[in-house]
Amino acid sequence: MNTQGPTDTFDGSDAKMGQSLAGRVAVVTGASSGIGRAISLELAAAGADLLLHARSSRQQLLEVDQQIRSLGRETQLVLADLRESKEQESLIQQAWRWRGAVDAWVNNAGVDVLTGKKAGWSFHEKLEDLWKVDVLATVYLAREAGRRMCKQGGGVVLNMGWDQVAVGMAGDSGQLFALTKGAVMAFTKSLAKSLAPRVRVNCLAPGWIKTAWGEHASEDWQKRATAESLLGRWGTPEDVARVARFLVSDDAAFMTGQVVPINGGLSVG
């Protein structure tokens, strides 16, 4: 069985998909790497101009910016620590000041507690940081972006969940992500009802996606990830990005209040 996923290399060839987002403005938080980077490139290939956000990874963000500009799209770069309410507010203001309107807002930014120094933090330290960024920042940005979109006549908000919230996963990481991503998924459904019919709000729920942690995961985790997908492989950031592009386009005009799993078919639960 071929368990290899699509290539992770973006060379601009996906621009042939057409310009389904031509003339639109999108914001992607956490755009410097992983899923956020892939979503940014995918939306640009479909014709959107992008405001790209990162907390501090300026060099990585510049590399994404360069790739997007090579497609003929325009960009704006913003560094902001989303743990701080003033910086959340500043990000919103800069986004609307740039073009006067935003058509799609993607809340992808999240705390990495699986790699780097934060991997050694206590459960409660990790939960506090995740709650500030993954939950509270998502709530504020989604509500404020949605409010402004209603005034301008329409738009789309995408949040980021987790595919195993409903079935659960043992261990600290499972509990952390169930708490935080479960909150985001429930919030998405209520916000969609609040903003309908002018603004659509949906939630991506990725499964085993090979981002930085997956690249260096142990053999046991590698086997588990492939075993828990009916397609027998890890997902890629590009798998998630293609779904994001669909959801912010007019092709998904009758979809709101949905949590969309991107997991190759979850085999547990």
Question: Half-sphere exposure of residue 100, counting CA atoms within 13 Å on the CB side?
Answer: 1
Tell me if the domain spanning 20-262 has CATH number 3.40.50.720.
Answer: yes
Segments making up each domain of the chain, as ranges: 20-262
How does pLDDT run along the chain (269 residues), one tens digit per residue?
A: 233 344 444 444 444 456 899 999 999 999 999 999 999 999 999 999 999 999 999 999 999 999 999 999 999 999 999 999 999 999 999 999 999 999 999 999 999 988 888 999 999 999 999 999 999 999 999 999 999 999 999 999 999 999 999 999 999 999 999 999 999 999 999 999 999 999 999 999 999 998 877 787 888 888 998 999 999 999 999 999 999 999 999 999 999 999 999 999 998 77
Question: In this structure, which amino acid lies at residue 198?
Answer: R
Name beta bridge partners: 53.
78
The candidate with the shortest Cα–Cα distance to 37, out of 19, 15, 13, 53, is: 53
What is the pLDDT at residue 213?
Answer: 79
What is the pLDDT at residue 17?
Answer: 52
**Alpha-carbon dihedral 33, 39, 42, 43, rounded to 10 degrees:** -120
Report the relative pairing of strands 104-106 and 259-262 from DSSP bridges. Answer: unpaired
53 neighbors 31 (Cβ within 8 angstroms): yes
End-to-end CA distance of the chain: 24
Question: Half-sphere exposure of residue 75, counting CA atoms within 13 Å on the CB side?
Answer: 24
Show the tokens assigned to 222: 């590698």
CA–CA gap between residue 79 and residue 18 (Å, rounded): 30
What is the pLDDT at residue 176?
Answer: 97
CA–CA gap between residue 159 and residue 110 (Å, rounded): 11
Name beta bridge partners: 204.
160, 260
Q: What is the three-state SS of the chain? A: CCCCCCCCCCCCHHHHHCCCCCCCEEEECCCCCHHHHHHHHHHHHCCCEEEEEECCCHHHHHHHHHHHHCCCCCEEEEECCCCCHHHHHHHHHHHHHHHCCCCEEECCCCCCCCCCHHHHCCHHHHHHHHHHHHHHHHHHHHHHHHHHHHHHCCEEEEEECCCCCCCCCCCHHHHHHHHHHHHHHHHHHHHHHHHCCCEEEEEEEECCECCHHHHCCCHHHHHHHHHCECCCCCECHHHHHHHHHHHHCHHHCCCCCCEEEECCCECCC
211 neighbors 182 (Cβ within 8 angstroms): no
